[in-house]
Amino acid sequence: MRANLCGKRVKLARVEKDLKQVELAAALSVDHDIEINQKGISNIEIGVRRVTDIELVALAKVLDVSAMWLLYGEKK
């Protein structure tokens, strides 16, 4: 079983919103009190770091996509 299903789509959504990794990390911190630094975002995007359920929901909100899309690529 793959450890990180959403990393590639996190990157796609981040780039689509024209956010840098550090900006995504800052938005997660400010808006959702989730501390993930730029390296952590990078590790998520390349599939090295796992994403918790709370982080998944926060990422979806910040990136303006659904959690289901982040997980499975289903319609935004």
Q: What angle do CA 55, 7, 50 make, to 5 degrees?
A: 50
Nearest to 32 by CA among 7, 10, 62, 64: 62
The residues near 20 (Cβ < 8 Å, ≥ 6 apart) are none
**Whether pLDDT at 1 is above 70:** no
Select from 2, 1, 4 the least CA-distant residue to 51: 4
75 pLDDT band, cuts 50/70/90, is low
pLDDT at 45: 96
pLDDT tens for 24-69 read: 999 999 999 999 999 999 999 999 999 999 999 999 999 999 999 9
In the chain, the domains with their CATH numbers are 7-72 (1.10.260.40)
> What pLDDT, on the 0 to 100 scale, is given for residue 14?
97
Q: What is the pLDDT of residue 2?
A: 57
